[in-house]
Chains A and B, each alone.
Chain A
């Protein structure tokens, strides 16, 4: 007999876990869809964001939330500076541009992980917050952990803002034109470097900020990045490569699957079930669950 209280709590846990994945998947999907960069450094941006939270929060009254605007600005600037380098290695006469981008970002990821490990050592660091503590108990439903709820709202809001920018502004139109055909976009007078830097900077800013939220939810650890890189890949495969709205569906599917498998089947079966879903989606619907992404090849 299924306990209804536990069942609804597992649904809440799964949805909010999915919300955490959405915060990472949005930027990653944007980077792939617009810039055609498979960014292996996504998890390390999360990790560095979390460490920025751990280091800067004590300067703001031990409140990680106040660090987020700083992380947004810093990561946007750093992302905008890194993008021309990625553009450089993925264009021109170089063979396999996608692979070149992957290798470049893999190197970046290794550098970031090694740098944090050297500076901060192997220990985990707490990202303190007195605003986002505890949970809100809703009678008949369950408990909504505050930090996870806010993280999920942040992720979905980020997605909405990106969607608005892409589909309702001239800058967004320029970015979509670049994604469609770089050469023609350039011929139409679009400053490709500028808009690509904006897109990559926005992706880095969102992902770094997600790192602060994730740090407040769990903690900051030098080894945490790889896990989020793997989940970012899961997200874009399920969402459909480069299809932003699919990210929410993918997050919900991943979160709920993980939660229900852990409680009703076995904690040890979670990765098995997740990989099984990925394989089935790749076999049956390579363009993602909704079939609207690019084909995974």
Chain B
């Protein structure tokens, strides 16, 4: 019969050997990973939680880029060899701290660069992680101006900040006849929505229009109270910053209480399937803001010939029409593709390669189906692509968007003032 301490000794030896093996494996991982013949992009986005709809949109955008370049070009060409692109996802769980953890995980997994999350809230927590680890990071979604005001050196964004989108869309709406004299501004109390509401308020104030009220509410507020207060103020326009669920609740409560200003402008996402599905018969005539829709008149470029070609490809792949977040996410991939080609370094990227990549991104000019992408350097929009034109859209009876402003981009007439609820 074996003695008890012999068993213990054997056990301790086994544990020691296992720990050493695991430790060595871990060290190998921290060293940047083994040789790869693919570019590894770590994508942090919300695959669960409240923001999973938007997370899914960014995921489709990133996948659209990776699948297309791998299928059509075999990947990214470096020095005569072609390297496929691999996008690895980490779930931000709609939660900033989980997003930061997910970004750290991607960096520890040896990603060559990061693709950013959906929502400004989560992006604001991922940017510092990219900065601390000197990791290139392009987001195809986040719009809060706060991200760019921080002056992060390693983070970039393809979608213009909402302080520009919200402001320009509001200005275009305020130019419609009869010109509004008063607006009522509401928003959800979180960074992106607040920035949207502030940009709308600023545009109205700059245009000399009376702002009857400006107020933020929690996401799950009961909108009958918001609407009753607005109805009492009787504004010409109601401007709202928030995500899709809050838009749906706002129009539902407005229909129930018969609140009909001359128009509702809401941002983000009125031209998404989620808004149309959620608000049903109340969706038509809503105004929204975007920087891209399939019918926009822009030249094509790298990977996709035109906005419509991209939309058709996305529809075929996923069965749903892409919105500008999906397009901006695909554009983020295309920008990486062009920058990596210019860098001309095979994967995995060294830290020097990553630093050099940042310099390339700061000077890059890429013509895409989404529009021309260049990043600001310095100032309040540091590393944000602010060149893409904002479009004011309005949903038609069938829920499809028409560009109704600004004048030089409009493809149709606005239905304005919008008909009362009982006249639709």
Chain A residues with a Cβ under 8 A of chain B: 3, 5-6, 9-10, 13, 16-17, 122-126, 128, 133-135, 137, 142-143, 145-148, 217-219, 221, 223, 227, 258-259, 262-263, 266-268, 270-271
B216 within 8 A of A: yes
Residue in A122, A125, A133, A263 with the greatest tally of chain B CB atoms within 10 Å = A122
The stretch of B74-82, B275-283, B336-344 in contact with A is B275-283
A145→B224 CA distance, assembly (Å): 9
What are the interface flags for B221-241 relative to A under an 8 Å C-beta threshold, 1 for contact and 0 otherwise?
Answer: 110111011011000000000
What is the minimal beta-carbon distance from B240 to any residue of chain A, in angstroms? Answer: 13
Chain B residues with a Cβ under 8 A of chain A: 50, 52-53, 56, 189, 215-218, 220-222, 224-226, 228-229, 231-232, 244-245, 248-249, 252-253, 255-258, 273-274, 277-281, 421-422
What is the minimal beta-carbon distance from A291 to any residue of chain B, in angstroms? Answer: 28
Contact (A259, B255) CB under 8 Å given A9-B228, A10-B228, A223-B50: no
Residue pairs across A and B with Cβ atoms less than 8 A apart, 9 shown, are A3-B232, A122-B56, A122-B274, A123-B274, A124-B277, A143-B256, A221-B278, A262-B221, A268-B216
Contact (A126, B279) CB under 8 Å given A10-B225, A17-B222: yes
What is the minimal beta-carbon distance from B158 to any residue of chain A, in angstroms? Answer: 23
What is the minimal beta-carbon distance from B179 to any residue of chain A, in angstroms? Answer: 27
Closest partner residue, chain B, to A271 (CB atom): B218
A139→B222 CA distance, assembly (Å): 24
A173→B414 CA distance, assembly (Å): 64
Partner of A262, one of B56, B217, B281: B217
- Interface residues of B: mostly helix, strand, loop or mixed? helix
A128→B282 CA distance, assembly (Å): 10
Closest partner residue, chain A, to B249 (CB atom): A218
What is the minimal beta-carbon distance from B306 to any residue of chain A, in angstroms? Answer: 28
What is the minimal beta-carbon distance from B252 to any residue of chain A, in angstroms? Answer: 6
What is the minimal beta-carbon distance from A169 to any residue of chain B, in angstroms? Answer: 36
Closest partner residue, chain A, to B49 (CB atom): A223
Given A148-B224, A267-B218, 15 extra CB contacts under 8 A: A13-B222, A13-B225, A17-B224, A122-B52, A126-B279, A133-B421, A134-B256, A143-B257, A218-B248, A219-B249, A258-B222, A267-B217, A268-B189, A270-B221, A271-B218
Partner of A13, one of B50, B224, B273: B224
Contacts of B256 in A (CB 8 A): 133-135, 143, 145-148, 217
Contacts of A135 in B (CB 8 A): 256-258
What is the minimal beta-carbon distance from B241 to any residue of chain A, in angstroms? Answer: 14
Closest partner residue, chain A, to B47 (CB atom): A122
Contacts of A128 in B (CB 8 A): 280-281
A267→B193 CA distance, assembly (Å): 15
Partner of A126, one of B245, B249, B277: B277
Closest partner residue, chain B, to A127 (CB atom): B280
What is the minimal beta-carbon distance from B183 to any residue of chain A, in angstroms? Answer: 18
Contacts of A133 in B (CB 8 A): 255-256, 421
A52→B85 CA distance, assembly (Å): 42
A27→B144 CA distance, assembly (Å): 43
Closest partner residue, chain A, to B227 (CB atom): A13
A218→B53 CA distance, assembly (Å): 18
Contacts of A227 in B (CB 8 A): 220
What is the minimal beta-carbon distance from A59 to any residue of chain B, in angstroms? Answer: 16
Partner of A134, one of B228, B279, B421: B421
Contact (A6, B422) CB under 8 Å given A134-B255, A262-B222: no
Residue in A6, A137, A262 with the greatest tally of chain B CB atoms within 10 Å = A262
Closest partner residue, chain B, to A125 (CB atom): B277
Closest partner residue, chain A, to B421 (CB atom): A134
What is the minimal beta-carbon distance from A138 to any residue of chain B, in angstroms? Answer: 12
Q: Do A270 and B218 touch across chains, with their CB atoms under 8 A apart? A: yes
Q: Do A126 and B258 touch across chains, with their CB atoms under 8 A apart? A: no
Q: Do B249 and A123 touch across chains, with their CB atoms under 8 A apart? A: no
Q: Do A267 and B278 touch across chains, with their CB atoms under 8 A apart? A: no
A147→B258 CA distance, assembly (Å): 13
A125→B50 CA distance, assembly (Å): 15
Partner of B273, one of A123, A134, A148, A271: A123
A259→B222 CA distance, assembly (Å): 8
What is the minimal beta-carbon distance from A220 to any residue of chain B, in angstroms? Answer: 9
Residue in B215, B231, B257, B258 with the greatest tally of chain A CB atoms within 10 Å = B257
What is the minimal beta-carbon distance from A132 to any residue of chain B, in angstroms? Answer: 9
Q: Do B225 and A263 touch across chains, with their CB atoms under 8 A apart? A: yes
Q: Do B255 and A219 touch across chains, with their CB atoms under 8 A apart? A: no
The 8 tightest CB contacts between A and B, nearest first, are A126-B280, A124-B278, A145-B256, A267-B217, A262-B225, A13-B224, A6-B232, A123-B274
A26→B278 CA distance, assembly (Å): 28
A143→B279 CA distance, assembly (Å): 21
Closest partner residue, chain A, to B274 (CB atom): A123
Contacts of A143 in B (CB 8 A): 256-258
